[in-house]
Amino acid sequence: MRHDFLTYLCQTLPEPLALEIDRAEGIYLYTKDGRRYIDFISGIGVANIGHGHPRVVAAIQQQLAKHLHVMVYGEYVQETQVQYAKRLCELAPIDDGVVFFCNSGAEAIEGALKTARKFTGRTKYIAFEGGYHGDTYGALSAMSSAYYRRPFEPLLGEFEFLPFDEVSALQRIDDSVAAVLFEPVQGEAGVRVPSQGFLWALRQRCNEAGALMIADEVMTGFGRTGKLFACEHWNARPDMICLAKALGGGLPLGAFIGRRRIMQTLSQNPPLAHVTTFGGHPLSCATGLAALEVLFDEKMIERSARNGEQFLTQLRHGLRDHKAVKEVRGLGSFFAIEFHSEHETQQFVQNCRAAGLIIGWTLHRTNVVRAAPPLCMNGEEAQKAVAIILEAVKAL
């Protein structure tokens, strides 16, 4: 199987992990060779409530018995799609919001950028240094890293990049800017948490300049940081919010939610200004809605905050004097360990894997390890994971 994997699937890494997954349950991945691993990545934030929750499986089975794809997005009334949209609008920090479902985070970003340009009539965008928003052309254009941009240039023009968490730089947002795209917590840059006043200052400056504020909560949404949405930590209400990953409860699903007045621009001059075939697939919506209710019913958001505090406290204490570690930082169950070198980072990851814990580094920072464990993790499991991490560092 490994040979066929390397032969027939397009490879995007010279040395993929290539674990042969047999099944997944709760916080664990089980491989064909009989090993069990703690999944401290959660499928890159997808499996927020853990793998294979019975209520999610039941929702899939129930929707399968009814229908799968029946029509392109927005034409037929599909129950799970409508129910999920209503629930998201009730919960999202958007005033009078409506949902456009798509297939992925990058698609959500693309849709939000298009909508902002059409609504404002402006052509310029602001994004932040270190930000990551996806790999399609528009999303890649919003990434500051020359390393990832250069092979695909020329990209979309009129993107300006400001330093993240620097309030004084926000004065560069003026009346030529259609929208400012930001992550409330920068994930691929190494889980960079902004200072208390930054997002509030960003909201105020966008108001003054008439620019839209677009929050990329693809990674930080659905309890990851200890709040349903990370923006809620700073009471920063964006004009649009982009979602994916945990949104689908394990199936592909993306969405951007925006104020009704903004989103109405997609239905006129011309109508069908933004369309999708599979966006809001009924199976994905049924799964996502079930996972969202599990998140609340089993108090996983509170558990995320509690576990996150435990992770950060114990790791900061246990690693404070280790020569290889520069910093431990995070918010909720989203945290990072920054090492002094790339070699130490890679060795740490290998040590964790040998001990039965899967963790990985980021795109932008080769000396930073990022963790996003399942929010269903109990106290005993959290303690076990912390012990593995501490031993993996001590072995460097």
For 165: left if phi > 0, alpha if psi spans -120 to 50, otherwise beta; the answer is left
Statement to judge: residues 96 and 245 lie in one domain: yes
* Gap between the Cα atoms of 260 and 264, Å rounded: 6
Q: Are 69 and 278 in contact (CB under 8 A)?
A: yes
* Gap between the Cα atoms of 106 and 123, Å rounded: 19
Q: Are 162 and 174 in contact (CB under 8 A)?
A: no
The average pLDDT across 41-61 equals 96
The average pLDDT across 187-198 equals 95
Domain boundary among 244, 275, 297: 297
CATH code, domain carrying 358: 3.90.1150.10
How many domains is the chain built from? 2
Q: Are 352 and 358 in contact (CB under 8 A)?
A: yes
Per-chain mean pLDDT for the chain:
95
Statement to judge: residues 256 and 373 lie in one domain: no
Contacts of 296 (CB under 8 A, 6+ apart): none
Quick: pLDDT tens for 120-149.
999 999 999 999 999 999 999 999 988 889
**Which pTM value belongs to this model?**
0.95
Q: What are phi and psi of 22, to 5 degrees?
A: -95, -45
Q: Which two tokens stand for residue 393?
A: 């560092």
Statement to judge: residues 36 and 64 lie in one domain: no
Domain that residue 103 falls in: 55-297
Give the SS3 label for residue 360.
Answer: strand
Statement to judge: residues 17 and 108 lie in one domain: no
Quick: pLDDT tens for 348-393.
999 999 999 999 877 778 899 999 999 999 989 999 999 999 999 9
Q: Kindly provide the residue ranges of all beta strands, DSSP E only, lying in the chain, ordered along the sequence.
A: 21-25, 28-31, 36-39, 97-102, 124-128, 159-162, 177-182, 212-216, 240-243, 254-259, 325-330, 335-339, 357-358, 360-361, 368-371
Give the SS3 label for residue 387.
Answer: helix
Statement to judge: residues 153 and 284 lie in one domain: yes
Quick: pLDDT tens for 209-221.
999 999 999 999 9
Statement to judge: residues 252 and 336 lie in one domain: no
* Gap between the Cα atoms of 314 and 298, Å rounded: 25
What single-letter amino acid sits at 155?
Answer: L
Tally of CA atoms within 13 A in the half-sphere of 66 that contains its CB: 15
Question: Per-residue confidence at 229, pLDDT binned at 50, 70, 90?
Answer: very high
Question: Per-residue confidence at 2, pLDDT binned at 50, 70, 90?
Answer: confident
Quick: pLDDT tens for 85-99.
999 999 999 999 999
Statement to judge: residues 183 and 140 lie in one domain: yes
Q: How far is CA 347 from CA 317, 353, 360, 367, 368, in A?
A: 21, 10, 11, 11, 12
Q: Per-residue pLDDT for 16 more than 80? A: no
Residue-level pLDDT at 18:
82
> Counting Cβ atoms within 10 Å, is residue 6 exposed (0-12), middle (13-18) or buried (19+)?
exposed
